[in-house]
Structure 1
Amino acid sequence: MSIKKVYLIRHGQTDYNLQSIVQGSGVDSHLNDTGQRQAALFFEHYKDVPFDKVYTSTLQRSIESVQGFIDLGITHERHAGLNEINWGTREGSRVTPEEDAYYHGILQTWCDGETGVCIEGGESPDLVFERQKPFIELMLSRPEEETILICMHGRAMRILLCQLLRYPLRCMDEFQHKNLCLYQLNYTGSMFSVEKYCDVTHLQQAGAR
């Protein structure tokens, strides 16, 4: 039985990450110099993997993180279903103590199982879950794509991992993430398993974490 290999990464660092400014689906930021180095290190480490397809969100920071593979001529598709959660009224603003308290309150609400609650002006995990479903169905409908690379965003990636690994959404924070971290998954036709968990060893050779 053939195994579908999925390399799932979060985008590299942006200035918004560095400055603790909220990014979501409504903020189309670019990688900063550190993010570009992270992308280059990931490419150098995995450039010889025979990827059949590169999937990204529609946001530039995800595309720039895998540009090296796209430049090799690997077919690339953008999917809005992979975009980051919409953080609503807080997108593009620096996190103040008051906003930080509200944010952590929302996270606790979600961890308590109330994943249908939307952040003010934005999305809920349930809404992101639903918009990811068509992408998952598409990905699994293409057995000829045996090895794929997916680049997306932190919160959305946690939600996708819950879907693929059959975790309840309230457990999504169990999946850690860092800029340009890797989750390597294997799909046997009935279930996914994790081979690498939030792996950043490809970055450590130059300390670009």
Structure 2
Amino acid sequence: MAYPSAARSSPPRQPSVKVILTSADVQRVVDRIAHQILEKTQGAADTVLLGIPTRGAPLARRLADRISAFENIAVPVGVLDITLYRDDLRRHATRAVGPTQLPSGGIDGMRVVLVDDVLFSGRTVRAALDALGDLGRPASVQLAVLVDRGHRQLPIRADYVGKNIPTALAESVKVTLAETDGADEVRLYGETPR
């Protein structure tokens, strides 16, 4: 007697991984953004770099180091924790509040360059702008990102972009840095087509 064959389920899709930026590429991109900041800010005059944790903070320090190497200018660097300003706190597990560390001169009257690793929906930047409003009154605010992957939900754009990566919504971009992850790399994760 023959039994009907059981319906075979297809195996789960395995994520595809593509390296977008190698360690050497990340260094070149940081150098290029540092040069662009110098050009667009007339030598980084009255400029403060504020990194958004987690990976924006070491990127801000790297940019300041490169600006110093190129022009012998010490650009103040700080860290801007945005945890309490996020609009998704109710949806996600509790997050630990990190330290906000402003440069000793503060941000009032300064050009603040927010630094982050990936620009996606724009909601992180909106939260950073709200946090800045509670800390002082900068003369202007600019945005520097290592990667812009598109899919904005808010009218926000970066002034300095290391790499534009057109992505699908189902894909994700993962930035790793030596300071936080042990190595510099940018990868694009997606699903392997069936």
Q: TM-score range by the shorter chain?
A: 0.3 to 0.5
Which protein shows a greater Rg?
Answer: 2
Q: Which has the higher strand share?
A: 2
In the superposition, the TM-score normalised over structure 1's length comes to 0.37
In the superposition, the TM-score normalised over structure 2's length comes to 0.39
Q: Which has the higher helix share?
A: 1
